[in-house]
Homo-oligomer: A and B are copies of this chain.
Amino acid sequence: MKRKALILIGPEFEDIEALYPYYRLIEAGFDVTVAAPFSGEVEGKHGYRMNSKAIKDINPDDFDILVLPGGRGPERIRVSARDDAVRIVKSFYDSGKPIAAICHGPQLLLSAGIVKDIKLTSYPGIADDLKAGGAEWLNEKVVVHGNIITSRLPEDLPYWMEALLKALSNS
C-alpha cells in the first residue's frame, strides 16, 4: 500500500517550495494530497496553480508525512484556517510522524506551539519570531530535530527532501 503525504499551502505560496516536494514525493512512490484554506485551485507567487482540498476536511491520521512550504501561504493559512492547521500539525507531532517545513513554513510550527526547545531553521526574516517561541534557530541548510526537518530557502530544497526521505527510511 502506498504511503501518503500531505502538503499544506495557501495563496501566494512559494511555488518551487510546494512543487519540488510534490513531484519528489510522487517520484518516491507517495500518494500526495495538497490542502489549502479553501478547496479548488490555489495560485503561487509565480503563477503556478495547484488543486487543493480544504484543510478543514483533512484527517491527519490518513497521512504518513506532513510538508509545510513557505512563501505567503503559512500566514494566509493562519488567517483563514488556523485552528484546523494547528490541529493537523499537532497531530503529526504527537504521533511522531515526520514534519518537513521550509522558509515561512515553520510559522505553522510556532502556531501549533511545538517549537519550544526545538533546534530548527527557517527563512531568516522570521528567525526572531521562532526564537520568541523558544526555538533554537540555526543558520544551516537543513536542521533535523527528532522528526522535524526544517530548511531556509529554495536552494536548500535537495538537502531538505533528502533529510525527509532519510527520516522515513529510518522510522
A contact face: mostly helix, strand, loop, or mixed: helix
Q: Which of A17-57 contact B (CB under 8 A)?
A: 19-20, 23-24, 26-27, 46-48
B157 close to A128 (CB less than 8 A): no
Q: Which residues of B contact A146 (CB under 8 A)?
A: none
A76 an interface residue at 8 Å Cβ cutoff? yes
Of A16, A23, A157, most buried by chain B (CB within 10 Å of CB) is A23
B78 close to A124 (CB less than 8 A): yes
Q: Which residues of B contact A111 (CB under 8 A)?
A: 128
5 other contacts beyond A23-B158, A132-B134, with CB at 8 A cut-off? A46-B47, A75-B123, A76-B125, A111-B128, A132-B133
